[in-house]
């Protein structure tokens, strides 16, 4: 084996080690926040630990909802870039996206898909099914105070997930996301270069026009003509800038950033989150879209949703609201 091949293998192994470390870190973070007040309140609401007057079927549904949300949240967390998922805002965003998804689709429908799509999803479905079954079997249908969840149940669930080999699946998903975000960055660099070049050309034409105007006898007519020419160059420069921005083909991720930016300027709720000191917080907008794009890409890769043209159109339209 040559030196180059050895270096490449070393790099691949380091990347795998970093991926494994990130997955372990995310799993440990999910465990640690189980004692957090806000997280506990969300969990309690999902499975109604303190609510009585419910039947066994309702209890089973709530427990299933809770563990499907938990399993998919961990899955998405591991797909989000490590530097993003460390932020509390992004952690809450992932959980909210997953919760909304389960509320809309139904946990049983999602579980049925998980059981027959891929190794990763089928293993996660198995962990959820066995955990739910274990909890429900301990409940007494004649005593609704037995409808509760022990900490050991959650710990056992995490242990089951830790045995699932997610590295390869996560790697493929993160690679797709990285390609899309890299395209976005490169496209914006090229756009800025084109805008700078267009602006420089406009400036040169205006300066040349001023030089020619000075060489003439500055009658009122000459001054007015020179001013009109200058206005024409400025207007032409503006049109070129608009053409560069509007006519360039944008990938899905860039369309998401563009739509959310527009929404942040007109929607009061979005404005509070994404506008800072009367200016768009582009870093936060891009990060928000990266998490959302990761969520969609991960579910599409897991075959839990079908991201076709209609889905993309609806998603982008929803971001305008």
Choosing from 137, 165, 193, the residue where a domain stops is 165
Question: What pLDDT sits at residue 42?
Answer: 47
Question: What pLDDT sits at residue 164?
Answer: 80
Same domain for 190 and 124, yes or no, is no
Instruction: Say if CB 64 and CB 47 are below 8 A apart.
Output: no
For residue 209, is pLDDT > 90? no
Q: Is 49 left (phi over 0), alpha (psi -120 to 50) or beta?
A: alpha
Same domain for 159 and 89, yes or no, is yes
Rounded Cα distance, 218 and 211, in Å: 12
Choosing from 201, 232, 248, the residue where a domain stops is 248
The pTM (predicted TM-score) of the whole model is 0.70
Phi, psi of 219 (to 5 degrees): -75, 165
Same domain for 114 and 235, yes or no, is no
Same domain for 58 and 11, yes or no, is yes
Same domain for 149 and 15, yes or no, is yes
Same domain for 299 and 244, yes or no, is no
Rounded Cα distance, 158 and 156, in Å: 5
Is there a domain that residue 171 lies in?
Answer: no
User: Number of structural domains, the chain?
Assistant: 3
Question: What pLDDT sits at residue 32?
Answer: 59
> What would the pLDDT profile of 265-281 be if each residue is shown by its tens digit?
898 888 999 998 888 99
Of the chain, the percentage scoring pLDDT greater than 70 comes to 61
DSSP symbol at 143: B
Is there a domain that residue 186 lies in?
Answer: yes
Is there a domain that residue 111 lies in?
Answer: yes
Range of the domain at 88: 3-165
Question: What pLDDT sits at residue 238?
Answer: 62
> What would the pLDDT profile of 81-115 be if each residue is shown by its tens digit?
888 988 999 999 999 999 999 999 999 999 999 99
22 Cβ neighbours under 8 A, 6+ residues apart: 78, 82
Is there a domain that residue 175 lies in?
Answer: no
Same domain for 299 and 205, yes or no, is no
Same domain for 144 and 212, yes or no, is no
Same domain for 117 and 150, yes or no, is yes
Token pair for 20? 């494994």
> What would the pLDDT profile of 49-76 be if each residue is shown by its tens digit?
444 446 778 888 888 998 999 999 999 9
Same domain for 161 and 12, yes or no, is yes
Phi, psi of 36 (to 5 degrees): -65, 140
Is there a domain that residue 174 lies in?
Answer: no
Rounded Cα distance, 167 and 302, in Å: 14
Is there a domain that residue 172 lies in?
Answer: no
Choosing from 135, 165, 195, the residue where a domain stops is 165
Question: What pLDDT sits at residue 168?
Answer: 72
Is there a domain that residue 84 lies in?
Answer: yes
Is there a domain that residue 177 lies in?
Answer: no
Rounded Cα distance, 181 and 227, in Å: 44
Same domain for 7 and 77, yes or no, is yes
Same domain for 268 and 206, yes or no, is no
């Amino acid at each position: 084996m040559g030196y180059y091949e050895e270096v490449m293998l070393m790099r691949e192994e380091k990347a795998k080690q970093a991926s494994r470390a990130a997955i372990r870190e995310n799993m440990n973070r999910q465990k640690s926040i189980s004692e957090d007040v806000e997280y506990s309140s969300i969990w309690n609401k999902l499975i109604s630990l303190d609510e009585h007057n419910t039947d066994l079927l309702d209890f089973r549904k709530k427990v299933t909802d809770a563990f499907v949300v938990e399993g998919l949240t961990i899955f998405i967390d591991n797909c989000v870039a490590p530097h993003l998922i460390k932020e509390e805002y992004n952690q809450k965003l992932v959980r909210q996206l997953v919760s909304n998804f389960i509320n809309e689709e139904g946990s049983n429908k999602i579980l049925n898909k998980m059981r027959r799509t891929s190794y990763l999803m089928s293993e996660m479905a198995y962990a959820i099914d066995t955990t739910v079954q274990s909890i429900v079997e301990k409940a007494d249908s004649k005593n609704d105070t037995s409808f509760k969840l022990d900490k050991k149940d959650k710990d056992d669930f995490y242990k089951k997930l830790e045995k699932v080999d997610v590295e390869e699946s996560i790697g493929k998903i993160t690679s797709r996301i990285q390609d899309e975000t890299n395209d976005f960055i490169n496209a914006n660099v090229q756009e800025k270069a084109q805008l700078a070049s267009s602006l420089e050309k406009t400036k040169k034409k205006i300066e040349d026009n001023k030089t020619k105007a000075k060489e003439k006898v500055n009658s009122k007519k000459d001054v007015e003509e020179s001013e009109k020419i200058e206005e024409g160059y400025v207007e032409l420069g503006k049109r070129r800038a608009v053409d560069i921005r509007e006519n360039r083909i944008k990938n899905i991720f860039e369309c998401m950033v563009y739509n959310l930016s527009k929404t942040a300027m007109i929607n009061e709720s979005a404005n509070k989150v994404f506008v800072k000191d009367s200016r768009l917080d582009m870093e936060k907008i891009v990060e928000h879209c990266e998490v959302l794009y990761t969520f969609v890409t991960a579910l599409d890769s897991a075959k839990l949703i079908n991201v076709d043209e209609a889905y993309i159109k609806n998603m982008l339209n929803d971001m305008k609201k």
